[in-house]
């Protein structure tokens, strides 16, 4: 499975990131740019940073506490300024508020619709209109 995932192109290759996410936003170093919810090993965020090295704004990796703890040993995250946050999407309201992008990859398909509603309802209060 990991091999198959590694083979896929990054979403930054086909999604118009600059036009839809970076342009028209007043970005600064303090802006919360992208929260990768249930990021797993965080490869997606590291690659994103590599693809857009000039971008301003904070990147956040979220996952269950045990996963974040294991990831914390990997120095690449600190080196790239990626913040790590423990988060259980069933039990907590999204703690990182007003980010420009909340991103789920290979996550929602794992759960039945009723559980997905819980996950999305726990995200909703963190999002600001627009």
Ligand X SMILES: C[S@@+](CC[C@H](N)C(=O)[O-])C[C@H]1O[C@@H](n2cnc3c(N)ncnc32)[C@H](O)[C@@H]1O
For residue 18, give every residue at least 6 positions away whose Cβ sits within 8 Å of its Cβ, in sequence order, or none: 52
What track of x and - describes contact with ligand X for positions 82 through 121 (by CB under 6 A)?
-----xxxx--------------xxx--------------
Residue choice 51, 64, 70, 93 for contact with ligand X (CB under 6 A): 64
Beta bridge mates, 84: 61
- Quick check: 25 and 52 in contact, CB under 8 A? no
**Closest CB 23 distance from ligand X, rounded Å:** 25
Known active-site residue 10: no
Phi-psi sector, 82: left (phi>0), alpha (psi -120 to 50), beta: beta
Of 66, 75, 98, 109, the active-site residue reads 109
Asked if 10 interacts with ligand X (CB under 6 A), we say no
Beta strands in 4-43 (DSSP E): 32-37
CA distances from 112 to 25, 46, 73, 121 (A): 35, 29, 33, 14
Asked if 12 interacts with ligand X (CB under 6 A), we say no
Residue choice 17, 35, 63, 68 for contact with ligand X (CB under 6 A): 63
Asked if 59 interacts with ligand X (CB under 6 A), we say no
Asked if 48 interacts with ligand X (CB under 6 A), we say no
Residue choice 27, 40, 80, 126 for contact with ligand X (CB under 6 A): 40
Q: Which of residues 12 and 40 has its CB atom nearest to ligand X in the complex?
A: 40
- Quick check: 55 and 78 in contact, CB under 8 A? no
Report, as residue numbers or ranges, the catalytic residues. Answer: 109
């Amino acid at each position: 499975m990991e091999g198959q995932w590694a083979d896929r192109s990054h979403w930054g290759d086909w999604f118009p990131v600059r036009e839809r996410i970076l342009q028209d936003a007043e970005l600064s170093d303090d802006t919360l740019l992208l929260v990768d919810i249930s990021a797993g090993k965080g490869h997606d965020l590291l690659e994103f940073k590599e693809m857009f090295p000039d971008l301003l704004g904070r990147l956040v990796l979220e996952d269950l506490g045990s996963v974040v703890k294991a990831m914390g040993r990997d120095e690449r995250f600190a080196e790239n300024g990626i913040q790590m946050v423990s988060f259980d999407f069933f039990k907590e309201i999204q703690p990182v508020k007003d980010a420009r992008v909340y991103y789920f990859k290979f996550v929602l398909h794992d759960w039945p619709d009723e559980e997905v509603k819980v996950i999305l309802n726990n995200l909703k209060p963190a999002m600001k209109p627009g």
